[in-house]
Structure 1
Amino acid sequence: MAAVTLVLGVDGGNSKTDVAVVTGDGELRAWVRGPGSATGPDRAAAIVADLVQRTGLDLSDATGGCHLAGVDLPFQADAVRAALARRGVVAEVANDAWALLRAGAPPSAPAVAVVGGAGLKCVARAGATTVEFPGLGWQSGDLSGAGDHLAREAVRAAARAEDGRGPATALVDAVRGLLGLPSVAVLAERLLRGELTERDLDGLVPAVLDAWRDGDPVASALVSGLAEEIAVSARAARRAAGASGASGASGAEGRADWTLVLGGGLLADPAGRLLAALPTDLWDEFAPSVVTGPPVAGAVLLGLDRLGVTGRDDDVRRAFRDAEPKVLP
C-alpha cells in the first residue's frame, strides 16, 4: 500500500496554537490546540513540537508550514525554523497573516490580508509578488497592535480624563470597573509594581468598542483611528503588490479583482463592531472576505499548494467546520 501524503499546518498567536494534519486529499487526520506561541523562538518551537508529537502521527515525511504571530522578519523565521529542526520538526516558517490570507482567498486571487487581534499585521500577494509590512510597532511605522493599541490608548485617555488633562469619557469607568480599582492612577501604580500586566487589560477592548458604538467621542477617535490604519495599510499593500500589474482597474472592476481578507479576534468579532468602523469606500476597492473559521485551515491549504494539490479548498474548510480541536494543556 502506498504511503499517504500528509500535510502539517501550524497557526500560532498570542492566545493559542493550532496544529493540524490533512492528507493530500484534504482529509483532516488530527487537530490539536495548545497555548499561545507568540513568544521567543525556543519557547515557540517547544510548544509547536510538543503539539506535533501529541497528534500521534508520524510526520517525519510531512510537508509542513508553521505560521506564527511575532515572526515578522527573516531572522526571526530562521531562528524558529532552526529551533524546530533541533526538535525534529521540519517546516517552512512565516507570519500567521499568510495563513489567514490563504484561508480567505484562493492562491490565484490578488489579495491583501489584515490580522486584527492583539496585534495588527498586513500582507499582500499578487501572482508571484508578495508584500509584508513588519508590524513591529513604532520603530517600523506601525501601531503597537490592534487590541493592545486600543487597551493602552484607553488607559491613557482615561488617565488624562481623570486628572483633567483630557476630555471626559466613559472609558474612565470602564478602566476602573475592569479590575475593580478606585482610580486609573492606582492601575498605573500596580502596573509599575508588576502586580498587573498589560494582558490584564485585554478586557478593555470590548469596552472601548461598546463606548464607540454608544457615541463616546474619545472612544470614537480611538476606534476610528485604528479603522483608518487598517484601510491605509490595505491600500498601501495593494499598491506595493502591483495593482496595475494585476488588473489596472479601479472602482467596481477593481473590487472584483482584489480581495481584502480580514481576521483575528477584533475583525472576526461576531458583533462586527470594528468592521462597521472601517471606511465604507474601502469596499469600492476590495471584495471583503472575513475569516471566521480557524486560520490553521489556511496553513494546511498552503501545504497542499506546495504539493501542487488543487481543488481541495471546500473540502478542507468543511472538515474544519465539522470538527473541534482537541484542546491540550
Structure 2
Amino acid sequence: MGVTEPLVVGVDGGNSKTDVALATSSGRVLGVVRGPGSSPDKLGDQEAARVIGGLIRSALAGADARETPVVAVSAFLAGLDLPEDAPRFQAVLAPQWPDARVRVENDVVAALHAGTGGSPGVAVVCGAGINAVGLGPAGQRASFLSLGVRSGDWGGGLGLGRAVLWHAIRAEDGRGPRTRLAELTRRHFGVREVEEVAVSLQSGRIAELRLADLVEVLFRADEEGDPVAVSLVVRLAEEVASMTRVMLDRTALRGAAASVVLAGGVLTGGRPRLDTLIDDALRRVDPTSRPVRLRVPPVAGALAHALPGGLPDVERSRLEQQWQDARRDPAAAEGVVT
C-alpha cells in the first residue's frame, strides 16, 4: 500500500547535481534522489524546471507515492542571484504542482536552513563559487550579488583553481616565485608544461569547470608548506571572515552569539589548517559567533523549509549519516532513492 499522508519536497539544485528529498508532512523522510544539475542560469528556466520535475516524480515513484498529494515544494537553486530571478523561476516551476505551496530561493539559503533550522544566523557557502547570506532577528535578510569576479567574489573552487593556474604558469615562465603548484598542476593534468593547460582551456579541449579540481592541488601544496599555497589558503580564511562580518553587521547579529554555518565542499572537506585559520579569523570578527560546519546535505535545509514544523532531529540524524556515507562512496549517491 502506498503513502497516503500529504507530502513535502525539498530541492537543492546546483550547477553539476541536484538533490531532491521527499518527506511526509509530519517530517518522516521517505527518500532522496540525486540527478543532474538544475541551475536556471545554466540550463534556462524551462529545462531546469523539467529536470526538477523529473527528479520529484522519480522520488515519488521510489516511495510508491505517485498518487499522493504534494502540498509543499521548497526549491533552492544556484544561479538565482538577481532580485527578479527567484520570482521568475517560481512562476515557471509552480504550475507543475498546482495544489502545492511552491517557494524558490537561492541555494545558499538552503545551507542556512540546514545549519540553523531557519533561526537567525549567517551561512557562507564555498563550492564551485562562493556566497553568503544572513538572517537577522527581525527577519531582515542580506546577501551578496555573487556574479563572480565582476561582483567582487573571490574564493570559490573555480576561483581558487584559476589562482592556482595563474601562479603555476608564472612560476614556470619566471614571472613569479617558485611554487609546488607548478609541478602539482602538471602532474594533475598529465602535461609537460603548465601552459599546455591554458592552451587547452582556450581551445575548449579542457572545460573551464575542471579548474575547480585544482583545489586539491592547492591544499596538498599548503600541507607541504609551499609559501604561495599557504598565502592563498590564508586569504580564503580571511575572505570567509570578511563575508561573515558584513552579513553580521547587515542583519544586526554582531555580538549576538550567532551561528555561522560553513558549507560547500571547500569548507567542509575536513582540512584542519583551513578550519583553524577560519575559526581564528571569525573570532577576530566577532568573539561571540559560533562556527557550524554543515554535516547534513543542504537539501535537508530545503526540506526543513518545506515542513511546517521543521525537520525532526531523528530524521536530520539519518540524513547526516546517509550523507557522510555517500561522501565516502560518491557512486552510492548517484541517481538512487535512499
Shorter-chain TM-score: which interval?
Answer: 0.7 to 0.9
Alignment CA distance shift 1:174-1:322 (3 Å): closer
Q: Deviations over 1:113-170 (max 9, x none)?
A: 0111111010011121111112112222222x51111100000011111111100000
- What percentage of aligned pairs have identical amino acids? 37
Measured against aligned partners, the alpha-carbon deviations of 1:159-200 in whole angstroms (never above 9, x if no partner) come to: 111111100000001111111111111111111111111222
**Does residue 162 of structure 1 match 2:172?**
yes
**8 Å CA contact retained: 1:301, 1:316:** no
Residue in 1 that maps onto 2:282? 282
Query: Counterpart in 1 of 2:329?
Result: none
> Whole-Å Cα distance in 1 between the matches of residues 273 and 210 of structure 2?
22
Q: Pick closer, same or farther for the CA change 1:59–1:13 going to 2, 3 Å.
A: farther
Change (3 A) 1:21 1:150: same
Task: For 2:25 and 2:69, locate their aligned partners in 1 and report how far apart those are by CA, in whole Å.
Answer: 15
Other-structure match for 2:117? 106
Structure 1, unpaired ranges of 5+:
none
CA distance in 2 between counterparts of 1:100 and 1:267 reads: 12
Question: What is the match of residue 73 of structure 2?
Answer: 64
The CA distance in 1 between the partners of 2:172 and 2:250, in whole Å, is 43
User: Is 1:49 aligned to 2:50, yes or no?
Assistant: no
Cα deviation, residue 213, structure 1: 2.2
Structure 1 moving runs of 4+ over 6 Å: none
CA distance in 2, matches of 1:166, 1:262: 32
How far off is 1:14 after superposition? 2.8
Distance 2:272 2:33 in 1: 28
CA distance in 2, matches of 1:139, 1:166: 25
Are the counterparts in 1 of residues 110 and 301 from structure 2 also a CA contact under 8 Å? yes
Unmatched runs of 5 consecutive residues or more in structure 2: 324-331
2:163 and 2:322 map into 1 onto residues whose CA distance is 38
1:327 equivalent to 2:334? Answer: yes
Cα displacement (A) at 1:259:
0.5
Rounded to whole Å, the distance in 2 between the matches of 1:156 and 1:149 is: 11
From the superposition, tell whether residues 87 and 202 of structure 1 become closer, same or farther in structure 2 (CA, over 3 Å): same
TM-score (norm 2): 0.85
CA distance in 1, matches of 2:160, 2:192: 21
For 1:227 and 1:200, how far apart are their aligned partners in 2? 23
Shift of 1:54: 0.9
Relative to 1, partners in 2 of residues 1:315 and 1:54: Cα closer, same or farther, differing over 3 Å? Answer: same
1:85 is paired with a residue of what secondary structure?
Answer: helix
Distance 1:23 1:88, change over 3 A: closer
Calculate the TM-score normalised by the size of structure 1.
0.87
Amino acid at match of 1:25: S
